[in-house]
Amino acid sequence: MQRIKLAPRPDWQAKAEAVGFTWHHVSGDLYWDENAAYEFSMAEIEEGIEAPTAELHSMCLDLVDEAVQSERLMTLLDIPEAMRDYVADSWKRNEPSLYGRFDFAYDGTGPAKLYEYNADTPTSIFETGVFQWLWLEDQIAAGVLPEGADQFNSLHEQLVDRFRAIFPPDDQGRGGFVHFSSDPDYVEDRQTVRYLEDIASQAGLEPQFVAIGDIGLNEDGRFVDHENFLINAMFKLYPWEQMLRDDYAAPLPGADVTVLEPAWKSLLSNKGILPLLWERHAGHPNLLEAYFETDPAHTTLGSSYVRKPLFSREGANVELVKAGRKSAVLDGGYGDGAWIRQALQPPPKFDNRYVIVGSWVVGNEPAGIGLREDRGRITRNTSRFLPHYIRD
């Protein structure tokens, strides 16, 4: 694994705009950065990233199967008591999952270490599945990369196939009507959902967007969109930890709606899985030692560790503690609930930049990677996205 400096395509920004990638800058600074790319060997991809992704996903599913039968685990994972049967039933009914993303510390020399599992509302799928692939094709065509260069990236194709599997098409190739929802005021979220709508169309579905705030309830207790059409199936880019606590949570069990991601994913998109995985697989090469703060065993981590709230996104409220000294913390409003502590493992550093590998799962299959870089050790929403390629 190497960080290779490359000249950016002179027209990359116009190409981004042409395919709807409008969030290539964040707060006036680069988000998409092709001034460099990460080079991997096939062994690093297959053995270092793909295999651990599959194994960790399987371990997570085993944990869900255990958690839905355990009030203790539901409590540790802070699932509201009134919604626990609903979450458990979604698993017992085998409600399908679309996708998720593991975030790893990996430098090509040792085992990938799991930071967290973004199992509910991960973004950066367009950058991963489409734009970095277009970058690869352009750089091969320009002779910047060799003809045989490749990527670990079947994300787009696997998402199309997964939508078809969840909503099988009829004899005419139509898979039915599916709503898609997010908060339209967040550009990246709306564009991510727009991309998923396009994928659903390719899978034969008829997508319809509804803003999350425009979803209502009819007199029969069914959810409806802004035009009062029934919502029978919906993809939502809106976190379960909020949905389970919203005013509309109580009608969910009787609303007869298929939701992507399913409610059981609330058990995994939760930092509480990190100590639970360690408890069941202590010493696993891809896990970092972790404990709930209520567990006295957390003192075994000593005075250097990472402190994380159960629910947090884009590095918000994550605290790095080294030799008892806490780093600056970005307050994202996630600090009121339970916390866990995880062994301190800074991301690997290339050219004075810290990098993490986001490894995607579609259904139950590894599907590709995207890399994020930052000058600091915590990945935030301003961290840059860099493409990758495989050299052999």
Residues 286, 112 contacting (CB under 8 angstroms): yes
Query: Tokens 């078809």 belong to which residue?
Result: 164
Q: Report pLDDT for 175.
A: 79
Backbone φ and ψ of 280, nearest 5°: -90, -20
| Extended beta strands in 170-222, E state | 176-182, 205-211, 216-217
Instruction: Work out the pLDDT band at 34, boundaries 50, 70, 90.
Output: very high
Residues 25, 381 contacting (CB under 8 angstroms): no
Instruction: Work out the pLDDT band at 317, boundaries 50, 70, 90.
Output: confident
Q: pLDDT tens digit string along 359-378?
A: 999 999 999 999 999 988 77
Q: pLDDT tens digit string along 89-136?
A: 999 999 999 999 999 999 999 999 999 999 999 999 999 999 999 999
Is pLDDT above 80 for 289?
yes
The span from the CA of 157 to the CA of 165, in Å, is 12
Euclidean distance between the first and the last CA atom of the chain, given in angstroms as a whole number: 12
Q: Report pLDDT for 27.
A: 86
Of 39, 21, 38, give the one whose Cα is nearest residue 30. Answer: 21
Q: Which DSSP category does 76 fall into? A: H
Domain ranges of the chain: 154-260, 273-343
Q: pLDDT tens digit string along 242-280?
A: 999 998 899 999 999 999 999 999 999 999 999 999 999
CATH number for 154-260 (one of 3.40.50.11280, 1.10.10.10, 3.40.50.10420, 3.40.190.10): it is 3.40.50.11280
Is pLDDT above 80 for 293?
yes
- Helix-strand-coil percent breakdown of the chain, rounded to 5? 30, 25, 40
Q: Report pLDDT for 121.
A: 93
Residues 78, 338 contacting (CB under 8 angstroms): yes
Query: Tokens 């039933």 belong to which residue?
Result: 89
| Burial (CB count within 10 angstroms: exposed 0-12, middle 13-18, buried 19+), residue 264 | buried
Provide Rg for the chain, Cα atoms: 21
Is pLDDT above 90 for 355?
yes
